[in-house]
Amino acid sequence: HIAKLVGMPRNSRHVGQALKFLSPDATPPVPWQRVLGSSGAISSRGPGTNGAQRQREALEAEGVEVIQTQGGELRVNLREYGWFPDVGTVDTGVENEDEEYAEEGDGEEDEDAELEEGREHGMDEDEAEREAER
């Protein structure tokens, strides 16, 4: 949803990359712990890292309930804790780049690739489609 708010709806992975390189001393502080996958999942940071656990602890300190699924995935109920403002209602400080996307094409190829990636990660058809649309 963040990518959509800044006018780049097909670039949600860039949000994750930006957070990956975020300085811990960023001013003003960025509430990185509040950024979750579109399904409410806390992203695994890979083997041997504790980033997902740190995110869980930071969210729980804010009163957000984090559950662990049977498969071990950490997840937040977005119906209860999600924030999904309408595009244009939040001052992001970024100009909308919709015109650029119109010139580049409709992004269907990117969506198809994301849909296929969701299937590869074991998502059912509906969940993979919802993930690809975001």
pTM of model > 0.85: no
Give tens-digit pLDDT for 1-37. 788 877 878 888 888 888 888 888 888 888 889 989 8
| Predicted local distance difference test score (pLDDT) of residue 75 | 96
DSSP assignment, residue 78?
H
Under 8 Å between Cβ of 55 and 45 = no
Q: How do the residues of the chain divide into helix, strand and coil, expressed in percent and rounded to 5? A: 45, 5, 50
At residue 81, does pLDDT exceed 70? yes
Under 8 Å between Cβ of 114 and 131 = yes
H or E, element range at 68:
strand 66-68
43 band by pLDDT with thresholds 50, 70 and 90: confident
- Establish if 51 belongs to a structural domain: yes
* 53: containing domain: 2-96
Q: Which domain CATH number covers 53?
A: 1.10.10.10
- Establish if 83 belongs to a structural domain: yes
Q: To 5 degrees, how large is the angle CA 22–CA 122–CA 82?
A: 50
| Predicted local distance difference test score (pLDDT) of residue 61 | 97
- Establish if 107 belongs to a structural domain: no
Q: What's the number of domains the chain is made of?
A: 1
Average pLDDT of the chain to the nearest whole number: 76
| Predicted local distance difference test score (pLDDT) of residue 79 | 93
